[in-house]
Amino acid sequence: MAIVTPYSHLTALIVDDMATQQTTLRGQLSQIGIGKSDAASNAEDAMRLLRSRRYDLILCDFNLNSKSDGQQWFEHLRDQKLLPADCLFFMVTAESAYAQVAAATEHHPDAYLLKPITASDIEDRLKTQLEKREAMMPISQCLAKDDLAGAVVACDKLLASKSRWSMPALQAKGKALLDLGRHEEAKQVYRLALDHRANLVWAQLGLARAHKAAGQFEDARQIAQEIIHSPEGEKNVAAYDVVAEALEAQGDATGAMWVLKDAAAVIPSARRQRLLGESAYRNGDLDTAKECLQKVAKATRGSVIAQPQDTLLLAQTLVDRGEAQDALKVLGEGDNLYRTNPAFGSVSLAIQAQAHVRTGNQAEADKAMRRARETMRKGKADFGTIALAKAEIMAGNEEAGMKLLQSAVSADHENPRIRQMIGKALRDTGHEEKVEDLIQGAAAALENKVKDARKLLRDSQVDEAVNAIEEAVREYPENTGVLLQAAQINCMALRLKKELSPARVDRIRLYLTRLEKLMPANDRVTMMRRYFRETISALESGNVKN
C-alpha cells in the first residue's frame, strides 16, 4: 500500500549514471511518499524527459561520469531558462568541497545532499524548500508572467508579514527592481539587506550590479572587487564578471580579459573557459584563446552544453595561428555534429575559405567562398560576416571584404566587441592603417543619422524626426544604437503629442522586442523599457512631462 504524505503529489526526476544509485534514491523517495519518479543516466536523457513532462523535484548526481557533470547541466538549465521556477533542484554529491563549488558559481541548487544520504535527509531539505516555495509563490507567479511590478508588490507583502523568508523576498525584490531599471530603489533594497548582515554576498553583488546598470562603472568595479577580496566572496565568479563588464564598459578590454582569466582559475568550467577564450581572441591573445577553446571542446563534445560557436571560434583561432590543416579538421568534426544548423554551415564555409587560402589551395578557397556568399547575402554585425570579409581580403578580393566590414560596423556601430573583432580582422590581413577610418567612418555616418533625427525633434518637427529615425531602422534593422534611439524618439513623440497612438506604441514594443533578442539582459534596454512604461503610465494618467 502506497504511503500517503504531504509529498505524495510530487513527481521527481533522478539523474544518476549508476543504476544501483537510481534504485536507492527511488526507494528513499518512496519512503517519504513520492511514488512517481523517473530516472535518467545522463544529462541528455534527462533533458528529453524534462521536455516531455513536468517535475516538482530533480535529484541530480554531481559526478555523472559522462560528458557533463551535474553542476554544468544545472547551470545550462538555468542559463537557457529550461528549469521551471517551481521545480526544486537538489544536487547529490560525495564531495565535501561541493559547497565551495556551489557558492562560487552563478547558479546555486536549492539544496545539496552529501552521500551517504537517507530518506530523512531528503525529507528535511524538501520540507524547508517547499515551505519557502509556498511563501514565495505569489512572487514566482508574477515572475512567470513577466509581471515585474507585480513581483515587487508581492515581495513587499511578504516582507510586511515579517516571516522567516524576509531575506529571499529582499533578494527577489532587488532583482525585480534591477530588471525594471529602477536602479536607485534596487540599491536601497540591497543596502537594507546589508544593514542586517554586512557580509551578505548576494546583496553586495546586487549593489554592484545596480551601480553598473546605472552607468556608474567605477563604483560597480570597486564594490565587486571588495567582494573578491573578502573571505566570503573571494571565489564568487559573478563578482569577477561585474569587474570585467565594468572594465570593458570603460574601454579596458585587456583588463577585462585578465579578470576573466582569474575567474577561470577559480572555477575552470566550460562556461568560464568559453568566456575567457572569446575575450582572449578579441584581444589577439591566440595562445590563450586556443588553450581555452580546446578545453571547452573536450569538456562539452557531444553533450547538451556544447555550442556551435565554440567550434567555429576554435577553428578561426587556428587559422589565425597559421594552423590551417588543424582548423579544417576541427570544422570537419563540427560539420558532423551541427549538420542541421544552417548558421554553423555558412560560417564554417567562410573559415574553410581562409584555411584553404593559407594552404595555397585557391580552387577550394573559391568554392567555399562562393557557397558562403550564397548563405550570407547581407552583412550583419556578427562573427560570420567578419569571417567572410576576412576570407575575401585574404583571397585578394579586398573591395568586397572591406564592404562587408563596413556593413558589419553599420549594422551595430555601438557594439565594442564587434568593433574590436573588425579591428583584429584588419590587422590580421595587413590593413591596420584602415582600422580607424573604416570603423569611425561607418560609425559617424550612423551617428549623423541619429543626430539629424534628434535635431528635428528639438525643433518640434516631431513627425519628421520619427520618419528620419525609422528610415534608419529600415536601413539598419539590427543596429542596436539605432533601435534604442528609435524607441526613445517614438516615446518622446508620444509625450509631445500627448496622444496614446496604438500604432506608435506597437512600433516601440517591436523595437524593444528586437533589442532584447539582440542584447539579452542589457542595462540600456532595461532603461528604455522603463522609459516606455513610464511614458504609457503618464499618458494614461494625464500627467505627461517631456
pLDDT tens, 95-144?
Answer: 766 666 666 566 788 998 988 899 999 999 999 999 999 999 999 999 88
Q: Looking at residues 162-184, what average pLDDT do you find?
A: 94
What's the CA gap between 43 and 60, in Å, rounded? 9
User: Based on the number of CB atoms within 10 Å of its own CB, is 221 exposed (0-12), middle (13-18) or buried (19 or more)?
Assistant: buried
pLDDT in tens, 187-203: 999 999 999 999 899 99
What would the pLDDT profile of 66-97 be if each residue is shown by its tens digit?
666 888 889 888 888 888 878 999 999 887 66
CA distance 95 to 157: 39
Distance CA 110, CA 89 (A): 5
219 pLDDT above the threshold of 80 = yes
In a domain, residue 401? The reply is yes
203 within domain boundaries? yes
- Closest C-alpha among 241, 284, 237, 287 to residue 265: 237
Residue 342 burial (CB count, 10 A): 10
In the prediction, which pLDDT does 75 show?
A: 85
Claim to verify: residue 498 and residue 399 sit in the same structural domain: no
Pairwise CA distance, residues 516 & 316, whole Å: 28
Within a domain: residue 452?
A: no
Evaluate if residue 380 carries a pLDDT over 60.
yes
Domain residue limits at 26: 1-136
Residues linked to residue 11 through DSSP beta bridges, in sequence order:
36
CATH number for the domain that contains residue 10: 3.40.50.2300
Nearest to 156 by CA among 141, 143, 173: 173
SS (H, E, C) 405-419: HHHHHHHCCCCHHHH
CATH of residue 473's domain is: 1.25.40
> With contact defined as beta carbons under 8 Å apart, do 529 and 181 qualify?
yes
Report the pLDDT averaged over residues 38-64: 91
Residues 434, 303 share a domain: yes
Helix axes 286-300, 270-282, angle to 10 degrees: 150
CB count, 10 Å around CB of 291?
Answer: 15
CB atoms within 10 A of CB 417: 15
- How far is residue 122's CA from residue 197's CA, in Å, rounded to a whole number? 29
The pLDDT value recorded for residue 228 is: 94
Q: What is the pLDDT of residue 543?
A: 74
Strand pairing category for 88-93 and 111-114 = parallel
Q: Which of 340, 325, 288, 293 is nearest to 312 (CA)?
A: 293
Q: What integer pLDDT is reported at residue 146 of this predicted model?
A: 86
DSSP SS3 for 200 = coil
Same domain, 89 and 124: yes
Rounded-to-integer distance, Cα 234 and Cα 225, Å = 9
In a domain, 351, yes or no: yes
End residue of a domain, out of 225, 251, 277: 251
> What would the mean pLDDT of 37-60 be, rounded to a whole number?
92
What Rg, from alpha-carbon coordinates, does the chain have? 26
Residue with cell 516615446: 491
Element (H, E) at 11: strand 11-15
Residues 386 and 528 in one domain: no
Quickly count: other Cβ atoms within 10 Å of residue 37's Cβ.
Answer: 19
C-alpha cell at 310: 565554440
Place of cell 542586517: 196
Do residue 338 and residue 427 come from a single domain? yes
Buried b (16+ CB within 10 A) or exposed e, 354-389: bbbbbeebeebbeebbebbbeebeebbbbbbbbbbb
Cβ–Cβ under 8 Å, residues 239 and 221: no
Res. 544 pLDDT band, cuts 50 70 90 = low
Selection from 477, 496, 484 nearest residue 528 by Cα: 484
- Indicate if 210 and 91 belong to the same structural domain: no
Which of 251, 280, 306 delimits the end of a domain?
251
Mean predicted confidence (pLDDT) in 390-418: 90
Average pLDDT over residues 233-255: 93
The reported pLDDT for the residue numbered 118 is 93
Would you say 91 and 112 are in contact if contact means Cβ atoms under 8 Å apart? yes
Q: Is pLDDT larger for residue 437 or for residue 317?
A: 317
Read off the amino acid at residue 15. V
pLDDT number for residue 444? 84
Tell me the angle at which helices 253-266 and 237-249 cross, rounded to the nearest 10 degrees.
Answer: 170
Q: Are 341 and 307 in contact (CB under 8 A)?
A: no
Is 546 a domain residue?
Answer: no
Please say whether the beta carbons of 450 and 421 come within 8 A: no
Residue 17 lies in a domain: yes
CATH code: domain of residue 160? 1.25.40.10
Assess if residue 213 is contained within a domain: yes
Segment 384-393 shows an average pLDDT of: 95
Can you tell me whether residue 10 is helix, strand or coil? coil
Residue pLDDT, tens place only, 460-519: 999 999 999 999 999 888 889 999 999 999 999 999 999 889 999 999 999 999 999 888
316 with 217, same domain? no
Beta-strand relationship, 111-114 and 57-61: unpaired
Determine if the peptide bond prior to 116 is cis (ω within 30°).
yes
Question: Lowest-confidence range among 260-274, 440-454, 478-492?
Answer: 440-454
Cell of 97: 568541497
> Of 417, 444, 471, at which residue does a domain stop?
444
Tell me the pTM: 0.86
- pLDDT of 339 reads 84
16 and 65, same domain (yes or no): yes
Q: What percent of the chain has pLDDT over 90?
A: 69
- Residue 452 CA: distances (Å) to CA of 175, 448, 469, 487, 528: 37, 6, 8, 16, 20
- With contact defined as beta carbons under 8 Å apart, do 462 and 481 qualify? no
State whether 303 and 270 are in the same domain. Answer: no
Burial class (CB in 10 A: 0-12, 13-18, 19+), 212: buried
Domain shared by 129 and 261, yes or no: no
Domain count across the chain: 5
| Average pLDDT score, the chain | 91
Cβ neighbours of residue 112 under 8 Å, at least 6 residues apart? 62, 90, 91, 92, 93, 98, 99, 102
One domain, residues 349 and 489 = no
Per-residue confidence (pLDDT) for residue 2, from 0 to 100: 61
Query: 265 and 225, same structural domain?
Result: no
**Domain-embedded: residue 299:** yes
Nearest CA to 57 out of 89, 15, 101 is that of 89
